[in-house]
Chains A and B, each alone.
Chain A
Amino acid sequence: MAMILNDEQSMLRDSARNFMKTEAPVAHLRKFRDMNCKDGFSHGLWKQFAEMGFTGVLIPEADGGLGMGHVEAGIVLEEIGRNLTPSPFLTTSIAAVEALKAADKAMRDRWFPGIIKGEAVIGLAIDESAKHRPDRIACVAVRSGNGFKLSGTKQFVVQGASADMIIVAARTAGAADETSGITLFAVEKSAIGLTLDAVRLVDSAVGAHVKLDNVEVTADAVIGQVDGGWATLGKVLNAGRAGAAAEMVGVGCGAMDMTFDYLKQRKQFGRVIGEFQALQHRAAHLYGEMETARSIVLKAQNLLDENASTAEMYVSAAKAKAGLACNLAVREGVQMHGGMGMTDDYDIGLYMKRDRGLNEFFGDAYFHANRVAQLNGY
Chain B
Amino acid sequence: MSDLDAFRTEARGWLEANCPPEMRKPSRTEEDVCWGGRAFTFQSDAQKQWLDRCAAKRWTVPDWPKAYGGGGLSAAEAKVLRAEMAKLKCRSPLNSFGIWMLGPALLKFGTEEQKRHYLPPIARGEIRWCQGYSEPGSGSDLVSLQTFGEDKGDHWVVNGQKIWTSYADKADWIFCLVRTDKANKYQGISFLLFDMTTPGVTTKPIKLISGNSPFCETFFDNVAVPKAQIVGEINRGWDVAKYLLGHEREMISGMGSDGGTASLGSGFKEVLADEPVLRAQMALFDVESLAFRAHSERFMDEWKTGKAHPAYSNLMKYLGTELNKKRHEMVMAAGGSSALEWESASSGGGAKARSWLRTKANSIEGGTSEVMLNVVSKRILDLPGA
- Taking Cβ atoms with an 8 Å cutoff, the residues of A that contact B are 2-4, 260, 263-264, 272, 274-277, 279-281, 283-285, 287-288, 291-296, 298-299, 313-314, 317-318, 320-321, 324, 365-366, 368-370, 372-373, 376-378
Contact residues of B between 247 and 269, Cβ < 8 Å to A: 262-263, 265-266, 268-269
Q: List B residues 368-386 near A (Cβ within 8 Å).
A: 370, 372-374, 376-378, 380-386
Does B5 lie at the interface of the complex (its beta carbon under 8 Å from any beta carbon of A)? no
The answer to whether A295 touches B265 (Cβ under 8 A) is no
Question: Is B272's beta carbon under 8 Å from chain A?
Answer: yes
B377 — which chain A residues lie within 8 A by C-beta? 280-281, 283-284
- Docked-complex contact B315 and A295, CB < 8 angstroms: no
CB pair A377–B269 under 8 Å, yes or no, is yes
Given A283-B383, A295-B299, A314-B294, 18 new contacts (CB under 8 A)? A3-B298, A264-B382, A272-B384, A280-B373, A287-B380, A288-B376, A291-B295, A292-B292, A292-B294, A292-B295, A293-B291, A294-B298, A295-B294, A299-B294, A321-B290, A369-B283, A369-B284, A378-B273
Does chain A have a CB within 8 A of B344? no
Chain A: CB-nearest residue to B298: A3
B129 within 8 A of partner (CB): no
Majority-rule SS of A interface residues:
helix
Bound Cα distance from A294 to B298, whole angstroms: 10
- Within 8 Å CB of A275, what residues of B? 383-386
Contact indicator A280/B374 (Cβ below 8 Å):
yes
Contact check, A281 vs B373: say whether CB atoms are below 8 A apart.
yes
Instruction: Tell yes or no: B77 within 8 A of A by CB.
Output: no
| Cross-chain contact A376 with B266 (CB below 8 angstroms) | yes
B225 sits at the interface (CB 8 A): no
- Please provide the 10 A-B residue pairs with the shortest distance between their CB atoms, ordered closest to farther: A299-B294, A280-B377, A295-B295, A3-B298, A373-B283, A296-B291, A284-B376, A376-B263, A369-B283, A321-B291
Known A-B contacts A3-B301, A264-B384; the reply to A317 vs B287 at CB < 8 A is yes
B266 and chain A: residue at smallest CB distance: A376
Q: Is the interface of B mostly helix, strand, loop or mixed?
A: helix
Question: B294 touching A3 by the CB < 8 A rule?
Answer: yes
Query: How far does the alpha carbon of A231 sit from the alpha carbon of B272 in the complex, in Å?
Result: 29
Q: Which B-chain residue is minimally distant from A279 (CB atoms)? A: B383
CB within 8 Å for A321 and B384 given contacts A377-B266, A378-B273: no
Q: How far is the CA of A366 from the CA of B280 in the complex (A)?
A: 8
A71 smallest CB distance to B (angstroms): 13
Query: Could you show 22 A-B contacts with beta carbons less than 8 Å apart?
Result: A3-B294, A3-B302, A4-B301, A260-B383, A280-B378, A281-B373, A281-B377, A283-B381, A287-B315, A291-B295, A293-B291, A296-B294, A314-B294, A317-B287, A317-B291, A318-B291, A321-B290, A370-B280, A372-B283, A372-B286, A373-B286, A376-B262
Q: Give the number of residues in B that approach A within 8 Å (Cβ atoms).
A: 46
User: Which listed residue, A4, A274, A283, touches B305 by the CB 8 Å rule?
Assistant: A4
Using Cβ atoms and an 8 Å threshold, which residues of chain B touch A277? 374, 386
Within 8 Å CB of A376, what residues of B?
A: 262-263, 265-266, 286
Tell me the smallest distance from the CB of B78 to a CB of chain A, in Å: 13
In the bound assembly, the distance between CA atoms of A320 and B284 in angstroms comes to 8
| A378 touching B282, Cβ below 8 Å | yes
B318 closest partner in A (C-beta): A288
B233 at the A interface (CB under 8 A):
no
Q: Are A378 and B272 in contact (CB under 8 A)?
A: yes
Answer whether A370 and B283 are a contact pair too, CB < 8 Å, given A274-B384, A295-B295, A378-B266.
yes
Chain B residues closer than 8 Å to A296, beta-carbon distance: 290-291, 294-295
Interface string of B306-322 (1 = CB under 8 A from A): 01000000010011000
Which B residues are CB-close (under 8 A) to A260?
381, 383
Which residues on A sit within 8 Å (CB–CB) of B283?
369-370, 372-373
Q: Hey, what's the 0/1 contact readout for B165-207 against A, CB within 8 Å counting as 1?
A: 0000000000000000000000000000000000000000000
A321 to B315, CA, bound (A): 18
Nearest CB of B to A168, in Å: 31
A372 touches B376 (CB 8 A): no
Q: How far is the CB of A326 from chain B (nearest CB, A)?
A: 13
Report if A372-B318 is in contact (Cβ < 8 Å); known contacts: A260-B383, A277-B386, A298-B298.
no
Contact among A314, A368, A373 for B265, CB-based, below 8 A = A373
Q: B319: which A residues are within 8 A, CB to CB?
A: 288, 292
User: Is the beta-carbon distance between B291 and A292 smaller than 8 angstroms?
Assistant: yes
Nearest Cβ in chain B — how far from A70, in angstroms?
14
Chain A CB within 8 A of B151 CB: no
Query: Inside 8 A of A276's CB, which chain B residues have their CB?
Result: 386
Specify the chain B residue showing the minimal Cβ separation from A322: B291
B279 within 8 A of A: yes
Shortest C-beta distance, B292 to chain A (Å), equals 6
B263: A residues at CB distance < 8 A: 372-373, 376, 378
B288 contacts the other chain (CB 8 A): yes
Residue of A nearest to B370 (CB): A281
CA of A326 to CA of B316 in the docked complex: distance in angstroms? Answer: 19
